[in-house]
Amino acid sequence: MGRLEGKVAIITGANSGIGKATAERFALEGADLVLAARRLDKLKEVEAYAVAQGVRALSVATDVSQPEDCRRLVEAAVAAFDRIDILVNNAGIDDKNKSITNCDLELWEKVISTDQNSVYFMMKEVLPHMERADQGSIVNISSIGATRSNAGISYTAAKMAVIGMTKNVAIQYAGTGIRCNAVCPGPTETPIFSPENAAAFDKEFARACARHFDGSVPRTQPEDQANAILFFASDESKAVNGETLVVDYGGTI
């Protein structure tokens, strides 16, 4: 406990799944939180949990695909806490495993704007504040869909871009107090993999992707991803920069 004492963290997509688990873990470790998602009601539940752990928390309704919303989120964080030590770019949507022949332009643009552009927007807004403090940790959530290219075309493209941006920012700030790393979750028990959502996946392409797994490896839990994110966010990883950590029980080895 106390690994994030005195730090302020922005977590996007903090209302469910990996984001919620990360927020709860960060609160237990002493971080003050700025929680972002589109649905404010669910965010308030996470906020209440954080406050009950003795930390401060602020919920901000945010559509991270919109640069103006990202700017307002960062401004709200600075106004409330006067600093930003950690940014977790977790918000994202799936693309129903749509192959390139089944992915229309509307879906492509929606996934790219939410899963890729939002990471650019948020880092661009947060980094000037980290530069002034000469310290900070950014943790971007990518996917094994990036490392293995076995997700839908738009999701794969966006999550590969997240890894590229992570390394690019890490190069820029190497040797300073600012770090940027990525976590690549494997299949995790979140709403994306609920039976209802999975039923809408592109079945033909999903079968092709399934050949990369034999079913012997369990799905991870949101808490497993939160633990990896915590490592990158904490000073325990102060010598780690520009790295990508796959958390999937070894399923993609």
What pLDDT digit, counting tens, does each position of 76-130 carry?
Answer: 999 999 999 999 999 999 998 999 999 999 999 999 999 999 999 999 999 999 9
Does residue 139 sit within a domain?
A: yes
- What is the structure's pLDDT at 234? 97
Residues in CB range of 13: below 8 A, 6 or more apart: 19, 36, 37, 64, 90, 91, 92
In sequence order, what E strands does the chain have?
Answer: 8-12, 32-37, 57-61, 86-89, 136-141, 178-185, 244-247
Report whether pLDDT(158) > 80.
Answer: yes
Does residue 1 sit within a domain?
A: no
- Could you tell me the residue range of the domain that residue 142 belongs to? 8-245
DSSP structural state of residue 93: -
CB 87 within 8 A of CB 129: no
- What is the tally of structural domains in the chain? 1
Report whether pLDDT(213) > 60.
Answer: no
Give the C-alpha separation, 21 to 28, whole Å: 11
Does residue 101 sit within a domain?
A: yes
- What is the structure's pLDDT at 111? 98
What's the whole-number average pLDDT of the chain?
91
CB 132 within 8 A of CB 74: no
CATH number at residue 199: 3.40.50.720
Query: Using CB atoms within 10 A of its CB, is residue 216 exposed (0-12), middle (13-18) or buried (19+)?
Result: exposed
Does residue 80 sit within a domain?
A: yes
Strand partners, 129: none
The stretch 135-164 carries a mean pLDDT of 95
Does residue 103 sit within a domain?
A: yes
* Predicted TM-score (pTM) above 0.85: yes
Run of H or E residues at 49: helix 40-52
Does residue 253 sit within a domain?
A: no
Does residue 2 sit within a domain?
A: no
Of the residues 120, 155, 173, 249, only one is catalytic, namely: 155
Report whether pLDDT(199) > 90.
Answer: no
Report whether pLDDT(155) > 80.
Answer: yes
Give the C-alpha separation, 77 to 130, whole Å: 13
Does residue 3 sit within a domain?
A: no
Side-by-side strand order, sheet with 86-89: 57-61, 32-37, 8-12, 86-89, 136-141, 178-185, 244-247
Q: If you write DSSP's letter for every residue of 18-48 in order, what string do you get?
A: HHHHHHHHHHHTT-EEEEEES-HHHHHHHHH
Look up 155 and say whether it is catalytic. yes
Report whether pLDDT(205) > 60.
Answer: no
